[in-house]
Copies of this chain bind each other. A is one copy, B any other.
Amino acid sequence: MGSSQSALNFGAGPAKLPSEVLYDVQQEFLSYKNTGMSLIEMSHRSKEYMEINDNAEKAVRELLKVPSNYKILFLQGGGCGTFAAIPLNLMNRTGSADYAVTGTWSAKAAKEAAKYGKYSQNLRDREVFPDESTWTLNPNASYLYYCDNETVDGVEFPKIPNSHDVPLVADMSSIRCYIWRCPKNIGPSGVVVVIVREDLLGNAMKVCPSVLDFTHVAKEKSIHNTPSTFSVYVMEKVLQWIKKNGGVAAMQTQIVPLTIGSEVGLIYHFVGGKNGNESLEAKFVEEAEKLKMYQLKGHRSVGGIRASLYNAITVSDVELLVKFMVEFQKQYGPKP
């Protein structure tokens, strides 16, 4: 699982990918499986691409132990496209949905949902994670939506919330290995993974674009129109790499939770944010880049510094980052 790259990439997405996978893609880039053609030149209906598509689906099913009554779909349009696809496909049942707004991403999802029906925001306090017992859920909601890891705000759900009899929709895009939408940690941008229970299909609104219609995509096994073939191809390789390296369990335990500043989690925010020192943050980024540590700038909406530790980040990568942080603190932090 080592990195042959010289740079340390802590980007939040697009993010670091396993170096073995990148090397493999490079090796076969001009001639996929000795066809004399690049994979990116081949039809999405060629037997070569159909096999990649099938294998990617099988790998997701195996790695995440997806039951057979759930469909696995590959969509385009990124997380924001899926924010629309969810109400377009699932809100028709009752015309309303519950959104647990705990940060930037769930707020965006709720805003998009408002185009298609009513929604209730349950959790307005973004600073402290609200206790589940205090939520007021609508028993007639078509679904309860939540974002497992709010990467901008640093809010992570401690456990899967109880939605009682209402279907639960989870944005799992920024979990180490777990996936739901943009697989930023299992491939390049351009593909979204949606896992949906079969009995929820068939309820798309009339105004749902075909490319976002889960039922249509499921029927056509994600090749209803030309997908971003390169994205699915690289994702399939990363999924095989995860399998080879011990599966989801290994990805989850590989990095021991480390305490940096006051936050523990898989995405660390430190030095600032809203109350930060912008010139010190710029200095941090500048000094880090001298050591070839990249993409540490916080999300543009909140500033600060952010280090994302997805699947391909190794323990030694983190150790190097911590070492640098400790030294930075010594040099630029408050003197005793």
Contact = CB atoms under 8 A, between A and B. Distances in A.
A131 B138 CA distance: 59
Interface string A1-27: 000011101011111110100110110
A154 to B, nearest CB: 18
Contact of A29 (B6, B7, B22, B44): B22
If over half of A's interface residues share one DSSP class (helix, strand or loop), that class is named, otherwise mixed; here it is loop
A46 interface: yes
A77 B76 contact: yes
Given A17-B40, A226-B13, A88 B22 contact: no
Nearest to A234: B40
A81 B88 contact: no
Interface stretch (A31-39, A161-169, A261-269): A31-39
The number of times this chain is found in the oligomer is: 2
A17 B41 contact: yes
A227 B40 contact: no
A126 interface: no
Contact of A188 (B40, B207, B211, B294): B40
Contact of A80 (B29, B30, B211): B211
**Interface size of A as a range:** 35 or more
B38 A228 contact: no
Given A14-B229, A112-B209, A207-B207, 17 more contacts: A5-B30, A7-B31, A7-B35, A13-B43, A17-B40, A17-B41, A22-B40, A25-B29, A77-B77, A77-B211, A80-B211, A80-B225, A84-B209, A188-B228, A205-B207, A228-B230, A230-B230
12 contacts: A6-B31, A13-B43, A22-B38, A22-B41, A46-B295, A80-B210, A84-B209, A115-B206, A189-B226, A190-B228, A190-B230, A190-B231
Closest CB pairs A-B (n = 10): A7-B36, A190-B228, A84-B209, A40-B188, A80-B225, A6-B36, A81-B211, A76-B76, A26-B29, A189-B226
